[in-house]
Amino acid sequence: MPVQQTHTDAGYRFDDDTANTEQSVDEHAVVLRNYDLSEPHVIRAQIHDTGGECVFERTLRVGPLETMPIKVQVDSAAYTITAQLENGSTDTTECHIGSNIGETALIETGNGSISVTDRHI
């Protein structure tokens, strides 16, 4: 499956979503949340399948106290999610991404750190 990429430039997003959409998740399967009161953050998110192939990659600016859902077009399954802040802080977790609200990867940042949580219920 080709990698989906987004590039940011002066706050604008340019999507290049070229993944196969058959039997795929087209929901807000990844949510970014910034808990900092005054600092925006640039977050790079990657999704790798069980074979290690990168199937999704985006770099986005998340404003202070902003929550940003991201639509992902991948098959419903377990993936390795890696998130990195502009300061180099990184976290990686295996998450089940699906079309149900409880099948979401949550990427949170605040105080210079980042975490990835599997919200599979």
| Torsion angle, alpha carbons of 87, 89, 92, 95, to 10 | -70
Average pLDDT, rounded, for the chain: 82
What digits encode the pLDDT tens for the residues 14-49? 344 433 334 455 566 899 999 999 999 999 999 999
Range of the domain at 50: 4-118
**Percent of the chain at pLDDT exceeding 90:** 62
What is the 3-class SS of the chain, one letter each residue?
Answer: CCCEEEEEECCEEEEECCCCCCCEEEEEEEEEEECCCCCCEEEEEEEECCCCCEEEEEEEEECCCCEEEEEEEEECEEEEEEEEECCCCEEEEEEEECCCCCCCEEEEEECCEEEEEECCC
Largest CA distance in the chain: 41
CATH (domain of 106): 2.60.40.10
Query: What is the number of domains present in the chain?
Result: 1
What is the pLDDT, as a whole number, of residue 63? Answer: 97
Q: What is the C-alpha separation between 44 and 82, in angstroms, rounded?
A: 8
What is the pLDDT, as a whole number, of residue 71? Answer: 86
The yes-or-no verdict on residue 51 having pLDDT over 80 is yes
